Amino acid sequence: MSTNVMPPQTLAQKLIARAAGRSHVAVGEVVTCNVDLAMFHDSSGPRRLKPMLDELGAEIWDKNKVVLVLDHYVPAQDADAQKIIQITRDTAKQWQLPHVIDSEGICHVVLPERGHLKPGMFCVGGDSHSPTGGAFGSYMFGIGATEMLGVCVTGQIWVQVPRTLRMHWWGRLQAGVSAKDMMLHMIGRFGMNGGQYQAVEFSGGAVQALSMAERMTLSNMSAEMGAQAGLIAADATTVNHLQSMGVSAEHLADADQWFTDDEAEFEQFMFDAARLSPQVAAPHSPANTRDVADFSDIHPNIAYIGACTGAKLEDLRAAASVLKGQRVAAGVQLLVAPASAREQAQATQEGVMQILQDAGATLLPNSCGACAGYGATFPEGATVISSTARNFKGRMGPASVNVYLASPYTVAASALRGRISDAREVLA
């Protein structure tokens, strides 16, 4: 008499199996998954989807499972941007979308802020940094406009079950070292195709000790590793954070089942968090990463704290801890674009925004801004130290702009000293 024993599964396999209505799935299988949530924004959404839906005579399969965010072209900088924004707003009204977040922050930050993400969900996003959702124990990845059209009409998408590459971090990060440094270090080691469009999972004591904001940075920048998804198992930190965002206990009842089984098959890489130094990526790739000490002769004239991976509340606090009671160096322009209006309001209440402004910061809107190449891009020949996720040539201004990527700690310390600097020296 045979017994059906469930094979051990990775977190990625469990999430995909649930979406496919299966008890389990095998790596390499192609399965059709039901989508729990589809997110798109003013750049990837209506202006691309509406003409295709109209041509098909089709409608969105479930409007309650769609979230539209205006974050790329807002506030409008020119006539083209204004046209795109108007198309987006008009279409949202025509489609009667119930979940529209207009000019209140970057999609990857405002989506969980509004309680739209929960452990166990299977989600897609019209943006390459959609893997951010994996920080919440959900499977989320970025797709193009044609794939999004299919999702909008059918509510389904096929996936090939990925292998899991597990990044296991033990120990504790030093003060002044953050998740951004962890990610830059991994991208520097594995390269921008190191994730091989597989599922990258972050684990270990150092990851478990991170706040949700820091976990979001890890999952977000799994895109820079070339991964499809960047996953972190749900735990008490996940549950407590989502409850603070208004998610009911009922919707979090099964949160503890979204983890990788001990006997599951995955490829594991080990890292010691305690030995990690602040990291900096030189132009023009996040993979050009070395220790901060290697860049002490670089003198940026712009320090930019912005983007979904570098301007959340915790990032703003980090910068303020470095700059408190001090002014940025002469010749350095400090620009701060908080990732969401809600996070900025909390930072204002805590006095964080006042510290940054007293240090000389110029505040920018709650939008993707320079990171996406819209709005406040950088001038010809600028040398920039930035908390963003990418530093490709020509992305954030003319091809002559040189962008160095770093954590908010490092950006703040560099603005303070007028050269790329180790925040640990300032904090000490």
Q: Average pLDDT in the 288-300 region?
A: 98
Question: Quick check: 206 and 218 in contact, CB under 8 A?
Answer: no
CA distance 378 to 228: 30
Highest mean pLDDT among 17-31, 365-379, 383-397: 17-31
> Starting from the edge strand earliest in sequence, which strands make up the sheet with 267-272, in order?
229-231, 199-203, 164-170, 267-272
pLDDT at 353 over 60: yes
pLDDT at 324 over 90: yes
CA distance 386 to 358: 20
Reported as a single tens digit per residue, the pLDDT across 42-63 is: 999 999 999 999 999 999 999 9
Q: Average pLDDT in the 238-263 region?
A: 95
CA distance 191 to 313: 29
Query: How many CB atoms within 10 Å of residue 90?
Result: 12
CATH assignment, 281-427: 3.30.499.10
Question: Quick check: 224 and 189 in contact, CB under 8 A?
Answer: no
Q: Average pLDDT in the 331-336 region?
A: 97
**Strands 289-291 and 279-281: what pairing?**
antiparallel
Q: How confident is the model at residue 373 (pLDDT cuts 50, 70, 90)?
A: confident
Domain 11-271 of CATH type 1.10.443.10: no
Choose among 158, 155, 159: nearest CA to 65: 155
Domain boundaries, the chain: 11-271, 281-427
pLDDT at 376 over 70: no
The percentage of residues in the chain with a pLDDT greater than 70, rounded to a whole number, is 99
CA distance 101 to 71: 9
pLDDT at 363 over 80: yes
Q: What does the pLDDT read at residue 270?
A: 98
Q: Average pLDDT in the 341-346 region?
A: 97
Q: What does the pLDDT read at residue 370?
A: 86
Q: How confident is the model at residue 366 (pLDDT cuts 50, 70, 90)?
A: very high
Q: How confident is the model at residue 292 (pLDDT cuts 50, 70, 90)?
A: very high
**Total-model pTM:** 0.96
pLDDT at 1 over 60: no
Of 217-226, 394-403, 405-414, the one with minimum mean pLDDT is 394-403
Reported as a single tens digit per residue, the pLDDT across 124-148 is: 999 999 999 999 999 999 999 999 9
Q: Average pLDDT in the 253-262 region?
A: 96
For 103-163, list the strands marked E by DSSP: 122-125, 139-142, 156-160
Reported as a single tens digit per residue, the pLDDT across 151-195 is: 999 999 999 999 999 999 999 999 999 999 999 999 999 999 988
| Contacts of residue 124, Cβ cutoff 8 Å, sequence gap at least 6 | 35, 37, 38, 39, 130, 140, 141, 142, 143, 147, 148, 151, 157
Q: What does the pLDDT read at residue 2?
A: 45
Q: Average pLDDT in the 65-72 region?
A: 97
pLDDT at 34 over 80: yes
Q: What does the pLDDT read at residue 372?
A: 82
Query: How many CB atoms within 10 Å of residue 170?
Result: 14
Helix (H, G, I), strand (E, B) or coil at 165: strand
Alpha helices in 21-106 (DSSP H): 46-56, 79-95
Q: What does the pLDDT read at residue 4?
A: 64
